[in-house]
C-alpha cells in the first residue's frame, strides 16, 4: 500500500530530483498533489517549476497548487545564487502547458488532511515551512490527522549553509518552522548533517546523462549547474542532493539512521535566527519532538536514484 503524500516544495534543482523520485516510485509513494511555496526563488517561479517537473515526469494530471508568497513575519530571502535566475537553471525546458490548480496550497493541505482517513497522509516538506505552518495555524484540527512530516531542513553538527548557524529552508521562515516543530506532529528531519553525506559523483551524473531520456538529461544538467556552487563553497568533489533524501526515507528508510531528540527553532537570536538547536545529548530534559537523521548509505541511495529515475523514460525532444 503506497504512502499518500503531499509534496510541499520550492523547486530548485534538488527539489525537482526529489519530486521525480516520488513520481517514479508509485509502489511506495502516491503523490496526492504538489504545493508550491516561495523559497529558492519567488512563488511564481516555484509554481511554474513544479509544473515543469510534473510534465517532465509524464504527470500533467497531477494538481499543482500555488501557496504562500512570503514568510509569516519576514522579508523573503531567495537563493538564485545557488539555483540560477529560474530556479531550474542548467537546461532549457519547455514552459508548462498544464494550468495551476485553482485551490490555494494551504486550502488544499487542509482539505486533504480533513478528507483522507486520519493518519493516512504524510507531508513531505523540502522548502520553507510557510504553507504547512499556515495550514496548522488556520486549522489546528488537521495536526493530529497527519501521519508524518518529513522535512528537509536544519543542521546541527554541520552548522549552517546560509548563515554560520542556519540552514536555508529554516532560515527563510523560522517562525513557520517553530510552529511546525512545536505542533506535536510526528517529524522526521533530514538536516545538512545527513544531506551533506549524499554527494553526487561524476560517474553518477554521467550515468544519468547516459540514460538517454529527457529526465536523465535534465538531472545531469541540473547537477552540473548547482555542483559548481557547492564544490566552490565546500571543496567537495560533488554536490549534496538534499531534498531527495526526504523522499528516499519513505521508500527505503533502512538507508538512514538518526536519533530522536528535541529540536528548538531559534527565532530571536542576533546571529542565530533560523538555527535548529538539537538537544543531541538530552541535557535539557525536554521530550523528543523529531527523529533527527544524521547518517545515510550513500551508495545505496544513489543506486536507488538511478534505478527509479531510469523508469521515467521519455526520450529527449
- Max distance between CA atoms of the chain, in angstroms, equals 57
Average pLDDT taken over every residue of the chain: 95
Could you tell me the domains of the chain? 3-309 (3.90.245.10)
Q: How far apart are CA 135 and CA 113, in angstroms?
A: 10
196 as an active site residue: the answer is no
Q: Which of 65, 83, 196, 242 is catalytic?
A: 242
CA atoms within 13 A on the CB side of 35: 30
pLDDT tens digits along 109-155: 999 999 999 999 999 999 999 999 999 999 999 999 999 999 999 99
* Helices 13-23 and 214-234, packing angle to 10 deg: 140
| Residue carrying C-alpha cell 551508495 | 299
Q: Name the strands in the sheet holding 3-9, side by side, starting at the edge strand that comes first in the sequence.
A: 64-66, 29-36, 3-9, 121-125, 146-152, 187-190, 290-296, 256-261
pLDDT tens digits along 178-226: 999 999 999 999 999 999 999 999 999 999 999 999 999 999 999 988 7
Q: How far is CA 310 from the centre of its chain?
A: 21
Amino acid at each position: 500500500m503506497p504512502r499518500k503524500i503531499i509534496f510541499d516544495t520550492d523547486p530548485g534543482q534538488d527539489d525537482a530530483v526529489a519530486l521525480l523520485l516520488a513520481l517514479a516510485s508509485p509502489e511506495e509513494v502516491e503523490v496526492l498533489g504538489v504545493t508550491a511555496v516561495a523559497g529558492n526563488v519567488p512563488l511564481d517561479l516555484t509554481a511554474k517549476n513544479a509544473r515543469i517537473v510534473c510534465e517532465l515526469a509524464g504527470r500533467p494530471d497531477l494538481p499543482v497548487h500555488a501557496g504562500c508568497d512570503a514568510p509569516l513575519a519576514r522579508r523573503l530571502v531567495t537563493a538564485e545564487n545557488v539555483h540560477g535566475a529560474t530556479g531550474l537553471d542548467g537546461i532549457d525546458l519547455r514552459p508548462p502547458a498544464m494550468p495551476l490548480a485553482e485551490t490555494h496550497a494551504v486550502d488544499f493541505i487542509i482539505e486533504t488532511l480533513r478528507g483522507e482517513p486520519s493518519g493516512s497522509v504524510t507531508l513531505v516538506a523540502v522548502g520553507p515551512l510557510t504553507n504547512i505552518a499556515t495550514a496548522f495555524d488556520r486549522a489546528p484540527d488537521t495536526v493530529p490527522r497527519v501521519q508524518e512530516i518529513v522535512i528537509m531542513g536544519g543542521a546541527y553538527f554541520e552548522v549552517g549553509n546560509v548563515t554560520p548557524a542556519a540552514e536555508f529552508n529554516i532560515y527563510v521562515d523560522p517562525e513557520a518552522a517553530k510552529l511546525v516543530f512545536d505542533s506535536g506532529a510526528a517529524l522526521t528531519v533530514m538536516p545538512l548533517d545527513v544531506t551533506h553525506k549524499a554527494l553526487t559523483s561524476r560517474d553518477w551524473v554521467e550515468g544519468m546523462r547516459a540514460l538517454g531520456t529527457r529526465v536523465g538529461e535534465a538531472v545531469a544538467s541540473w547537477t552540473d549547474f548547482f555542483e559548481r556552487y557547492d564544490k566552490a563553497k565546500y571543496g567537495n568533489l560533488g554536490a549534496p542532493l538534499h531534498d531527495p533524501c526526504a523522499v528516499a526515507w519513505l521508500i527505503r528508510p533502512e538507508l538512514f539512521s538518526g536519533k530522536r531528540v528535541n529540536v528548538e527553532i531559534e527565532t530571536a537570536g542576533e546571529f542565530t535566527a533560523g538555527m535548529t538547536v538539537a538537544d543531541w545529548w538530552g541535557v535539557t530534559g525536554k521530550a523528543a519532538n523529531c527523529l533527527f537523521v544524521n547518517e545515510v548509505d550513500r551508495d545505496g541511495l544513489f543506486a536507488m536514484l538511478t534505478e527509479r529515475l531510469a523508469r521515467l523514460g521519455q526520450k529527449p525532444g
